[in-house]
């Protein structure tokens, strides 16, 4: 973590916005609000927020409580717990 949490949060927000800008549409809860909040928490507990493993963690945290949305909620929950234990 090289900067203050506020600066890192702004950078993360900009990165998330850049990812869907120009697509013509976006489901903001899935592509912005949820990932931003999870990445902020990930940073607060001292984990790296900018790697592929974190991207998987963010996705798993979105999937795990919502069986009706598809994905594998049980598998996602197991991966989240394994990441927390590691």
The whole-angstrom separation of Cα 62 and Cα 67 is 10
Residues of the chain with pLDDT below 50 are 1
The pLDDT of residue 60 = 78
The pLDDT of residue 46 = 79
The whole-angstrom separation of Cα 56 and Cα 51 is 9
- Total domains, the chain: 1
Put simply, whether the predicted model's pTM sits higher than 0.95 gets the answer no
Token couple for 9: 């949060």
Q: Which domain holds residue 38?
A: 5-85
The pLDDT of residue 70 = 65
The whole-angstrom separation of Cα 74 and Cα 68 is 12
The pLDDT of residue 20 = 92
The pLDDT of residue 66 = 63
The pLDDT of residue 17 = 94
Burial classification of residue 70, based on how many CB atoms lie within 10 Å of its CB (0-12 exposed, 13-18 middle, 19 or more buried): exposed
Residues in the chain: 86
């Amino acid at each position: 973590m090289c900067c203050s949490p506020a600066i890192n949060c702004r950078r993360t927000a900009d990165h998330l916005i850049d990812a869907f800008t120009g697509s013509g549409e976006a489901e903001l809860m899935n592509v912005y609000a949820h990932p931003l909040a999870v990445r902020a928490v990930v940073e607060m507990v001292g984990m790296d927020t900018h790697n592929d493993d974190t991207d998987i963690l963010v996705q798993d945290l979105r999937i795990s409580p919502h069986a009706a949305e598809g994905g594998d909620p049980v598998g996602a929950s197991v991966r989240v717990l394994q990441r927390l234990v590691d």
